Structure 1
Amino acid sequence: EQGDVARARQMLGVFLRDVSKPIILAIARPIRKKNLRRLVDAYASDRTLQERANLVVIAGLRDGLGQGCSERDAVIADLFDGVDRHDLWGRVALPRQHSARDISDLYALAAEGGVFCNPAFHEPFGLTLIEAAQAGVPLVATQSGGPSDILPELGFGALINPYDTASLARGLRDVLTAPERELAARRAQRIARQTYDWTAWAIRTQAVMEGVMRGPQGQTVAVQQHDHLLACDIDNTLTGCRNGARAFAQWLGREGERFAFTVATGRSIAEAQRVLAEWDLPTPDTIISSTGTEIWRRSGSGFTLCEEYATLIAQDWEASAVRASLDGTDVRLQPVYDQRRWKVSLFGTISDVPAIEARLHQAGVLARIIPSHEKFIDIIPVQAGKAAAIRFETARRDMTDDSVIVAGDSGNDLDMLSRFDNAVLPANALAELDGLASVYRSSLKHAAGVLDGVQYYRTPQPMLMAGE
């Protein structure tokens, strides 16, 4: 439904001195993890933001304070405190009630020179981000969770550190003042409407459910023989560029009989399948998921967990002991849906690793610590990991290490990139892999870089004479 800008301005007129200004719009439930107070503080910290735009926060529905749960009341009170403490009355709107039509109108108003902001500590997906983008509103959002996939796909917007007020203010300012902002916003709007089409998603969901209902077809077949095993990370290795992903799919369609295609990802099996489907990437023979702690093999129309590998890595592993050893520290667990039977996932950087190692050692807990993306840490069994899972698969296929090609872009790919000679880094690889030697560093990004690396390793390299 097309929103009514004039109606939105009328709605906000009781709050704002100058309703002609663009708006910074946030829509979220009034709970702490949505991090709305930091948005108020970021707005208060930046005079440019206050001069260029008003702040509009839609934080649920209320009849006043003391009418809801204690967390809701505390969050609303904190927002009022922020506005009052920074003398922002007349620049900030905190409407008490709203309708679906009001939301549509506010999106339309935000599309006129404004921005939509989601500063949550972690956002699993971000439905309001999709709604805003489809209405033509540029996005500023947390770098933790779904937005880190959505914004690169749209090609415009800013990802921010939700714990850093300056990062949030900078992201808002950069998007509000971006050159050719309107053109970039319209382009992102077209991509949002094409990529996140609800009818197409319904068709895909139906196909997945039909596959689940049918279940595996036929009996287990013998392992197919291949010349090479190609193991790739997913995020920003195979994804990140639609043209590159399409070229990779076409190449594998031609070369699939020679390559056992495997993905090795930090994501769960379900999330891995979702992202592969969203990017129209081929279905792998094997999915090594959850940072090398699970091996899933293609079986009929689905995937089956390798119990032999699970038994192997489960020795000396107890997730509850890992969590208990971290009690009393400042580390924060990732949400429950990111925890797996053989993986404990935290928020943190490589600087947190020594303290975690000390805690595990003190508790007598055996485990590996895998930092990545400068914000995540996975703790896994000592015998697990992407390299270990790949070696388990190559042994099963009677393949040698020199028949393996691996590709990745972040810290959780380090162990496979450092343990196999035929390793590929796309040009967009993170700085945390800068110390790697003996890898092929492609000048191309994402899947195009993977294809470039495969071609490099398949082309015989000239032998150097002694003394050269």
Structure 2
Amino acid sequence: MIQDHPLYLVLISVHGLIRGQNLELGRDADTGGQTKYVVELARELAKHPQVAQVDLVTRLVDDPKVSPDYAQAMEPLSEKARIIRLACGPRRYLRKEVLWPYLDVFADELLKYLRTQAHKPSVIHSHYADAGYVGCRVAGWLGVPLVFSGHSLGRVKRQRMLAQGAKADVIEEQFHFATRIEAEESTLGSADLVIASTHQEIEEQYRQYDHYRPQQMVVIPPGLDISRFYPYNRDDVLPPIPIQAELERFLLEPEKPMILCLSRPVPKKNVAALVKVYGEDPDLQAQANLVLVLGNRQDIAKSETGPKQVLTELLLLIDRYDLYGKVAYPKTHQADDVPELYRLAARLHGVFINPALTEPFGLTLIEAGACGLPILATADGGPRDIIAHCHNGLLFDPLNPEDIRQALHQALKNPAQWQVWSAQGIAGVRQHYAWTSHVEQYLQQIRQLSTSTNISLLNPVRQLLTLTPPPPVRHHLLETDRMLISDIDNTLLGDPESLRELIAALDQDKNLGFGVATGRHLESAIEILAAWAVPWPDVFITSVGSEIYYGPKLTPDTSWKHHINYRWRPDLVRQAMADFPGITLQAPENQRPHKISYLVDPDLAPTLTQILRHLRRQKLHVQGIYSHEQFLDLLPLRASKGDALRYFALKWNFAMGNLIVAGDSGNDEQMLMGNTLAVVVGNHSPELQKLKKHDSIYFAQAHYAGGILEGMAHYGFLEPPQKL
């Protein structure tokens, strides 16, 4: 159990535009309900007396095309809550699908930030797949519990898009589903708690994942600020609201009931289906106006692909059905307009409709309900729970136009039913979706999280976070301020002459430490280094990152062993791998307690993705490292050269920018990513070619140790480093 002391909560939400006031909801596909939820969650958690501090960590954006608010490194939300923005990739605003190459940098920047805080986090809560990728690394390095909220899931979205006729290769190129789903799998395998908004999310959506563990999942519906979302007083004569004049520009009979749809202009929101239903039904057109509030736009032609496609299709449909004077589609609206829109629609005895193909929760539905506006919604996702709690509307099949049409007619033609739904929505939202209830349930779950699997890490981490160095293991590690950490085979070794030059350079710089990170086990690494007359390293990271040793006495890092032992069941892994064709165990001397190594015949063996899916379905928590197109190492989820490198840097207080790392193959990939100074030697394996798109990784022309020297010269690494 987390001890009974004030909590320091770190929330991660990487993408979109996040600020404390005037959120640009609907600006694009990345500024939807998640951005609003995380900001309000941070504020509401900070109000609780058990919480000492809440940090909402997101990406810093310094781009003249967006507000300068997003370039502030820190923005207070309240006395105990703040937004922390970290530099990650290019300064410009990027859509979430292209952020993946920069997330390792984000993780390193977050670790650097947390090192400056007086206490380590009580918990890290990641929101969406990209933050999950970051969170499972940083939580693992620090040894703190990880909480995950998916918000929407890649497997579900891909299925829906394929069902609509999208081509698999086209949507993969645009949305990078393979990368996203792999991040979701890894996060679900690492998370101590998964918070979902609805039971359907757990029972149907998360079930599609190999790391599905319903016993570690809990439903906590999002909260709502009922001081903003409340019903109009029927006895009052209300003056016109600002956006009302904007709507009246479009409508010939603005006093008619309103069918209100409020969403982002993205294909999955399925707004075109709603317009088609309305356009093909003269009775609906006679009875009600259709109001589409789809974010804010300046010029459709200059919009991103998704919004441009949606908005163009809607305009063509309005023209096809000649709906001018019956449909309103304002270009802009403010956040303060939203509750007024709900109240206006309720005053006109209209309805709110959400026709999305799938809706993880549906925050707009509880907003509308709180204002007394009945709701009609997709039967896929969160609306099931909302209507089950509030009894204030109908569900429909979003792929069935007739189902949508009948729901609209039933809601608009029965005044007595409308009144019942309106009253029940107001009461139901107040009972089930208030922020006070959300926060109490949230903190109750956080307090129950176990830290027993991470006890061995607490002392080193606490030492780090209070800037107290660990007990000395070797004098040089305490004195040195920079490190070269290199792979051995085909990187450090291969050319005797360039190796001698590198050793001479290391010998001349007494403040430069030296370590190796290798797939070899310790004995093999020592033997090969001795054969090439390489000086004794300060640190050995061996067996593909599953073991760490220090100094002349080869002191093992037992904290690291305990840390990566999390959910590791090697006997069951071997059993599950036994029947695969083209895969055979390597020699016994290559097997280690936290590494199972295989030889792979690529012509016979399944792909790495297929292997990992098979293991996950057996509830085995592993990651696979494939290198040189013939070697496969299966490791615990928390083990890799990259994770071991960051653990080492964290424990010994090295800034990532003061580490230069060199490698040549796939098992070096994770340590080459992020904020380290990375060098790929000229004789590298083909599997590293994909890293050439990363400007932060230097590809040397020279081979072996010559490539390392070339990289050190490129980074000016033999010069004294700048102070932090």
What is the TM-score with the length of structure 2 in the denominator? 0.32
Q: Which has the larger radius of gyration?
A: 2
